[in-house]
A and B are shown apart, each in its own frame.
Chain A
Amino acid sequence: MKFRAKIVDAACLNHFTRVSNMIAKLAKTCTLRISPEKLNFILCDRLVGGGVSMWCELEQENFFSEFQMEGVSAENNAIYLELTSENLSRALKTAQNARTLKIKLTNKHFPCLTVSVELLSMSTSSRIVTHDIPLKVIPRKLWKDFQQPSVPDADVSIYLPVLKTLKSVVEKMKNISNHLVIEANLNGELNLKIETDLVCVTTHFKDLGNPPLASDDASRDRDPAEMAEVHVDIRKLLQFLAGQQTW
């Protein structure tokens, strides 16, 4: 198993850092899947009663100027690693003024992801910061747990309002109830509702767009004004919103 990659472009590095920060806010440990074309950050939380899963896919050529990997075997050309997401985001934080960033899979007493950053420096010699992030290699027999989740066909698809606004609304609602009802329709209307014995609060968003329907989408025959609703755990939703940053 080998992995080695390099980022030289400042914008790519910035983007990669922001992705890593988002992952760090969502989960303490995450799984990193390395394959020849892609890099995936996977979180599978299978707790009973509303666990959060996340699947994040990056096309490696959009970020890395060099990317070489060799998986477990020729038929199973992938590497699955489990690491503490905060370690990666902390390592990348030091790379803000970097000339180059290199990531390598290494074995220093235990398997590590070595992140090596060459910093821009005033003097002639460069400064190098190296981080060794300890990780666990996930054996092949567990790989099936980390497959891409299948997203069921949607009844309604809608563009969300500005996430910052959404976050501040949901944050206030968290103080009143643990569960939130999200309802939306194909007319670009979204409502957030909380209901308790004493009070009901609803926030209405109008004129949000809806993504275009695919030709075989079941929701074609749906009455556009009809609302589809789901109940979610407010804290999980907030956790997701907190991880999003202003892009």
Chain B
Amino acid sequence: MKCVVMGSNVKVLGKAVHSLSRIGDELYLEPLDDGLSLRTVNSSRSAYACFLFAPLFFQQYQAATPGQDLLRCKILMKSFLSIFRSLVMLEKTVEKCCISLNDRSSCLVVQLHCKYGVRKTHNLSFQDCECLQAVFNPASCPHVLRAPARILGEAVLPFPPALAEVTLGIGRGRRVILRSYQEEEADSTVKAMMTEMSIGEEDFQQLQAPEGIAITFCLKEFRGLLSFAESANLPVSIHFDAPGRPAIFTLEDSLLDGHFVLATLLELDPHSQDLGSSQLHRPVPQLQGHSTPHQDDFANDDIDSYMIAMETTVSSEGLRVLPSVTLTPGPQRHCGPGPHSEEEDNDEAEPGPVPGTPPPKKFRSMFFGSILDPIHSPQGPSPVLAEDSDGEG
């Protein structure tokens, strides 16, 4: 494999690698006939990202030397990122970038041709790997949202950089709502600040989703995609379904396309919530309220009853700390760390098996599957994506 990137495209490539580095620790590089694909997945398998650079993106693109099979490799994200670490430097000094993959030398060679005759050569050792391919189809998602990257960038601006998750949904009046999502800890006395951003339908190029729908996903991973989209000035499409099903974020132009697939929080079964504790309602985002500017109903703001109760009880703890809830077995999150939580998630995952996969791997299979394209992949055992810590094969 050999490809050459010229001029300003080197910075674009660098930005894409920065974006991918926000998701996973390993980069899967695969030259295909329709372009060079860079893929990564996070350790808990709740986020997948892929950039495909078309042959036209390169000054020269050769997927494989004639007569040879297409190679693919897996390299450490940190190593690859270090080549493109300083985007400013890339823009100012790098004229050409050559990436070549040779199975004789077991190295991925990245050569940066810089100004003044300086040439930097990086030899990265790689591992042969199976194909990393997530099973997803944006067309199968009933709901879609599309907006210029700038709008979405402005939308996430009010949220603190440390915020892990955000809920996106459609509120009253067809307004798009982004709300900070905080996991409720029953014993925490310090509550976190809640921030909500409401944007009118007119700012979106496409909005095809019913009012009331909402999904919760990892904001940090989304920001990774957004930073690339903003620098490339591309619109971002968000394809999503019911909560619990992965959300697909796409961007494309004539030379590249990017797909980020993020798991979303599964909504708790409303029928099991008969304890009446307000904490239970938290994970189901309520999207009324702030959407219209005319909500100045003073009567709802009366907290006299709270105030009086505070003065008559000896300890106010009994009022403010609501009873902690024992949830139905297993955490309901898909963003949890490690394969252990995944096994439990399988009980909670949506019904509807993916054809040809055994039930215990339901969650993982919804997301990833074996793509046995007879032309490209070698015949062999079905793709193993990562070592399963339980040893279940």
Residues of A within 8 A of B (CB): 1-2, 4, 72, 84, 87, 90-91, 94, 102, 104-107, 109-112, 116, 118, 121, 123-134, 137, 139-141
Contacts and interface: CB of A to CB of B under 8 A. Distances in A.
B197 A134 contact: no
Contacts of A137: 303, 306-307, 310
A116 B195 CA distance: 10
A4 B301 contact: yes
B192 interface: yes
A129 B304 contact: no
B379 interface: no
Contacts of A116: 290
A132 B158 CA distance: 13
A105 B193 contact: no
B202 interface: yes
Contacts of A109: 278
B301 A104 contact: yes
10 contacts: A105-B303, A121-B200, A125-B199, A125-B202, A127-B154, A127-B197, A129-B198, A132-B193, A137-B303, A140-B311
Contacts of B157: 94
Nearest to A111: B303
Given A94-B157, A107-B303, A123-B203, A2 B197 contact: no
B329 interface: no
Given A1-B302, A130-B195, A131-B158, 7 more contacts: A107-B306, A123-B203, A125-B175, A128-B197, A131-B196, A133-B193, A137-B307
A91 B197 CA distance: 12
B191 interface: yes
Contacts of B300: 106
B160 interface: yes
A127 B291 CA distance: 9
Most A-side CB within 10 Å, residue of B158, B300, B320: B158
Nearest to B176: A127
A4 B296 CA distance: 9
Interface residues of B, number: 35
A127 B199 contact: yes
A84 B195 CA distance: 15
A134 B191 contact: yes
A7 to B, nearest CB: 15
B109 to A, nearest CB: 46
A129 B199 CA distance: 9
B302 A2 contact: yes
Contacts of B275: none
A141 B193 CA distance: 27
B352 interface: no
Contacts of B191: 110, 134
Contacts of B298: 2, 4
A131 B159 CA distance: 10
Secondary structure of the B contact surface, majority rule: mixed
A129 B194 CA distance: 11
Contacts of A129: 158, 195-198
B301 A2 contact: yes
Contacts of A107: 301-303, 306
B180 to A, nearest CB: 9
B145 to A, nearest CB: 15
Nearest to B290: A130
Contacts of A72: 307
Nearest to A87: B193
B293 interface: yes
B91 interface: no
Contacts of B350: none
B344 interface: no
B304 A1 contact: yes
B193 A1 contact: no
A134 B301 CA distance: 14
Interface string B167-197: 0000000010000000000000011111111
A121 B202 CA distance: 11
Given A2-B298, A110-B320, A90 B160 contact: yes
B153 to A, nearest CB: 13
A131 B293 contact: no
B201 interface: yes
Given A105-B301, A107-B303, A123-B203, A130 B193 contact: no
Given A1-B303, A137-B307, A124 B202 contact: yes
Contacts of B198: 127-130
A141 B157 CA distance: 41
A124 B203 CA distance: 9
A104 B299 CA distance: 12
A125 B306 contact: no
A1 B303 CA distance: 6
Contacts of B303: 1, 105-107, 111, 137
Contacts of A131: 158, 193-196
B321 to A, nearest CB: 10
